[in-house]
Amino acid sequence: MSRFPPNIRELLLDSGKEQFLAHGFEKASLRTICKNAGLTTGAFYSHFAGKDALFAALVDPMIIGFRRMYQTVIAQELSDLTTGVENELTSITYAIAHKDEFRLLFDCSKGTKYEGFKENLIHSVFYPSYQEVFDRYAGRPVDPALVRIILHMKFEEYMELIYGGYTMEEVKKLITQLTVFSEAGFRRLLHEINKEI
């Protein structure tokens, strides 16, 4: 009985991820990607149009899943502020489960259409939703500078949890504690904002 051939696409994806993480998109060698996968460049081109297509295949599914997850989390946050811990755990669990893909996008995407992904994520995705949550619970427009500063603080928290090498058990404990801290600060901040009226 003949053996099924290995999954060539998966071998290329694994090798590509390793090379992109180690060297970034621009410096990763297509020849090395193929060599480490035990395949020829001909095999590569039968599955991907080029190095950029390989990079896209690594990150696009995560981006699609992230957008869906984030829309759900923000909708819950807007309808019920007490879902904070649950929402934070959902978000960070997703981020850690896909930390390689986030690292590819944040640190290794120079020379791809994803270059600047982190800045775009902060300014075009997170900022508008944070502003909406603040405005909603304050009952009026909140100073955008304040929202941006708080967003950057929260983003740094996430970066520490993603890059810090914590176990999932440690992350769950930390995110629960950090969310309790954030929610108390958020409520106190809303009180201060409303005193300005």
CA–CA gap between residue 130 and residue 132 (Å, rounded):
5
The answer to whether residues 81 and 183 touch, using CB atoms and an 8 Å cutoff, is yes
Q: What are the structural domains of the chain?
A: 1-48 (1.10.10.60), 59-195 (1.10.357)
CA–CA gap between residue 134 and residue 151 (Å, rounded):
11
The answer to whether residues 81 and 73 touch, using CB atoms and an 8 Å cutoff, is no
Provide the residue count of the chain. Answer: 197
Residue 197 pLDDT: 60
- Whether the model clears a pTM of 0.75, i.e. scores above it, the answer is yes
What integer best gives the mean pLDDT of the chain?
A: 92
CA–CA gap between residue 38 and residue 17 (Å, rounded):
15
CA geometry: angle 86, 92, 93, nearest 5 deg: 85
Residue 29 pLDDT: 96
**pLDDT, tens digit (0-9, with 9 covering 90-100), for 133-191:** 999 999 999 999 999 999 999 999 999 988 898 988 998 899 889 988 988 999 899 98
Residue 2 pLDDT: 39
Residue 44 pLDDT: 95
Stretches in the chain below the pLDDT threshold 70: 1-6, 196-197
Q: At what angle do helices 127-138 and 168-195 cross, to 10 degrees?
A: 50
Residue 3 pLDDT: 47
